[in-house]
Amino acid sequence: MFRLSKLTIALLTSLLAANSVSANNFKPQESPPPRKGAQGTRGCGIPIGSLFLYGIGNQTSTSALTQQLTLEINTSLPQILFQVVSEREESVKITINEIQGKFQRFLVFEQVIYPKNHEYTVVNLPQLHSNKSYLLTLNLLCQGRPQYGKTINTWLSWVNYPTQVNLFIQSQSRKLDENQY
């Protein structure tokens, strides 16, 4: 280590004293400092709409913490129905992952859709194996990024009969034909 002379210590002390703010000279800012955005927090910096997925039900469970959302899907006609309510154009990313074991996920289906606001949107899913576990994820994107948007995760439950969503789509087929993907 090196030693500081008495003169150097005196100069440093006077320099620090000259640059410090005394209580008599302190003037608070008249306006708050400008914000640069939400750094370090999750969430979208712009307001985004709401995302609704129809046909979801709770899987029976003993604990509220372990309840999982399930969506019944007809094996012969796999379709989902969702709606975006927003004041501006939004984009929705739909993914289906096959779940094997605790840590293995395989992407099976991925699509980005630009739905019409305040209208139902029908998505025809690919034919999948009914004996495997699939997780459906819908992301209302925030400026093209799913991690800051709104997300719905649900397990797919395969059935051999028309679901409520299928029956609704059939009854509204004329209105929904233009919003089908």
Helix (H, G, I), strand (E, B), or coil: what is residue 157? strand
Domains and CATH numbers, the chain: 50-173 (2.60.40.2550)
Helix (H, G, I), strand (E, B), or coil: what is residue 126? coil
Interval 13-42: pLDDT, tens = 665 555 555 555 556 555 554 444 333 346
Contact 91, 84 (CB under 8 A): no
Interval 73-99: pLDDT, tens = 988 889 999 999 988 899 999 999 999
Q: For residue 64, is pLDDT > 80?
A: no
The encoded tokens of residue 104 equal: 């293995």
- Of the candidates 86, 82, 92, 83, the one whose C-alpha atom is nearest the C-alpha of residue 49 is 86
Interval 88-134: pLDDT, tens = 899 999 999 999 888 889 999 999 999 988 888 999 999 888 888 99
Considering Cα of 143, then 86, then 115, then 41, what sign does the dihedral take? Answer: positive
Interval 141-151: pLDDT, tens = 988 888 788 88
Compute CA distances 112 → 89, 135, 146, 163, 171, whole Å. Answer: 13, 17, 11, 24, 26
DSSP 23-82: TTT----SSPPPP---TTS-S-SS---EEEETTEEEPP-SSGGG--EEEEEESSS-EEEE
pTM metric for this prediction: 0.68
